[in-house]
Structure 1
Amino acid sequence: MKRVMKKFLAILGVPALLAATTATFAAQPESWQTRFQPPATPIMRQIEWFEAYTLWFIVPITLLVLALLAWCIIRYRASANPTPSRTSHNTMIEVLWTVGPVVVLLFIAVPSFQLLTAQYTPSEEPTMTVKATGVQWYWDYEYQYDEPLTFSSLMLQEGDREAAGKQDVAAYPRLLAVDNEMVVPVDTTIRLLVTGSDVIHAFAMPAFGIKVDAVPGRINETWFRAETEGLYYGQCSELCGKDHAFMPIAIRVVSAEQYESWLTAAQTDLEGANRNLMAQIESGKKLAAAGN
């Protein structure tokens, strides 16, 4: 009974709500998930709105087609209609099924084009640029400053959890946690350059509303502006070989002060910078919990 209740609550989306308020992560896949992850960027909120908007067209059209099929099956079945109609065309029907779809497509196309434009047009000039390179089977990140910071991000192996200080499976889930997260400041417009070094990969972060192919010899550009601090998970979304399923993406969004401190330390000691950042975040959560 308890197991059934857990599945029922999962379908209702209760775990996602609880995770957002009590856990240390911001967004990750949930069991029995039927909706999007909580949006963390303006673009993802627009995508969420557009999905709900299109349902107002898709659902009535689906029900209409279903009703018409049922009506034709029942009304014109052989036993009830032994002499088939020989009507070749109907002007009113021809007009309706031509004009109707055109109007519906216009209502869908206009906001669709607006969303597509927004996905490739930042509202302001990006403050920083990060290059993500897909490799079989991990990601290389390059922070493009005067003194570039580069590092690799591989899936965290179970035996390395303790050494990395990532024993909490809720915050660092199996097959999604990585050894080195991409760290970015909150409320900052970030240009993301995506490419591949060997085969085609794809950089996908559901909570940010981005999904970009990583093509060898080509650089694709997108952007994001995370509005909520936390740890977000995505995955390679292009079949890229035998370990495709073990190529996660993790982005940690922190305050501007924490980011500057991490960046300075990471130039000389990435592992130490990551540990200090995790300690700062954990300390902040304890203080917040004590304040409540």
Structure 2
Amino acid sequence: MAHPSQLGFQDAASPIMEELLHFHDHTLMAVFLISTLVLYIITIMMTTKLTNTNSMDAQEIEMVWTIMPAIILIMIALPSLRILYLMDEVNDPHLTIKAIGHQWYWSYEYTNYEDLSFDSYMIPTSDLTPGQFRLLEVDSRMVVPMESPTRLLVTAEDVLHSWAVPSLGVKTDAIPGRLNQTSFIATRPGVFYGQCSEICGANHSFMPIVVEAVPLHDFENWSSSMLET
């Protein structure tokens, strides 16, 4: 959960998000070094009037500013492609959940269970209890077992939506008539908040997403109680 005046991303709760954080730091360092070098060269040129033709058009300089950007791009591209591959890989999921976007709420279907499905609506501000977050709490959370690969199938019933939970490193478009697939593993217990990230109409900002990761035995108790009701 983000907090006031926070710098950076939310704490990672999945291996993919940890990889994304590392890649962000890696890329930011490359940007910092490039910016520092360019600023240094500009400063030198302004203070020493470095306009000598032999210096500016030297063959060595031409080679450096051609080869160095290519090396930097390769250093950024390789880890980026690796993470893209990991995000697209779904290996033997223990649980499959189908998330359906509506105007303006989410529905969840646990496909491993025959009758486990429910709608998830935002709790109005007037009904919040102390400790709950305005515009982020829902009446029925999506509960998942921690440390278990979870496959998420995302679609929509009316217009474009987007299922996004920053702490889990998940953001998948919900498109009517199409089934998109992603996966995640919650590495620690907790409650993780997200929102629809596609402008889907007047109440776009009123369809939050809440994922609760619990130990496996707690998940089994929850699923049993949901099936009984």
TM range (shorter): over 0.9
* C-alpha distance in 1 between matches for 2:156 and 2:5: 32
Q: Find the residue that maps to 1:195 and give its secondary structure.
A: strand
Letter in 2 for 1:92: E
Partner residue of 1:94 out of 38, 62, 76: 62
1:230 aligns with 2:219: no
Do the aligned partners of 2:125 and 2:135 also contact (CA within 8 Å) in 1?
A: no
* C-alpha distance in 1 between matches for 2:179 and 2:5: 35
Unaligned runs of 5+ in 2: none
What's the counterpart of residue 32 of structure 1? 5
What's the counterpart of residue 155 of structure 1? 122
Q: Find the residue that maps to 1:96 and give its secondary structure.
A: helix
The structure in which a higher percent of residues are strand is 2
State the Cα RMSD in Å: 1.9
1:134 aligns with 2:107: no
What's the counterpart of residue 241 of structure 1? 201
C-alpha deviation, 1:86, in angstroms? 6.6
Matches within 5 A, 1:71-86: 71-76=44-49
Q: How many residues align?
A: 228
Letter in 2 for 1:62: S
C-alpha deviation, 1:160, in angstroms? 2.6
Distance 1:149 1:173, change over 3 A: same
Matches within 5 A, 1:183-198: 183-198=143-158
Compare CA radii of gyration and give the structure with the larger one.
Answer: 1
Do the aligned partners of 2:161 and 2:196 also contact (CA within 8 Å) in 1?
A: yes
C-alpha deviation, 1:74, in angstroms? 4.0
Q: Find the residue that maps to 1:131 and give its secondary structure.
A: strand
1:215 aligns with 2:175: yes
C-alpha deviation, 1:179, in angstroms? 0.8
Letter in 1 for 2:153: L
Q: Find the residue that maps to 1:267 and give its secondary structure.
A: helix
The structure in which a higher percent of residues are helix is 1
Letter in 2 for 1:104: I
Q: Find the residue that maps to 1:100 and give its secondary structure.
A: helix
The farther-off stretch of 65-74 and 100-109 is: 65-74
Letter in 2 for 1:139: W
Give identity over the alignment, percent.
39
Distance 1:216 1:74, change over 3 A: farther
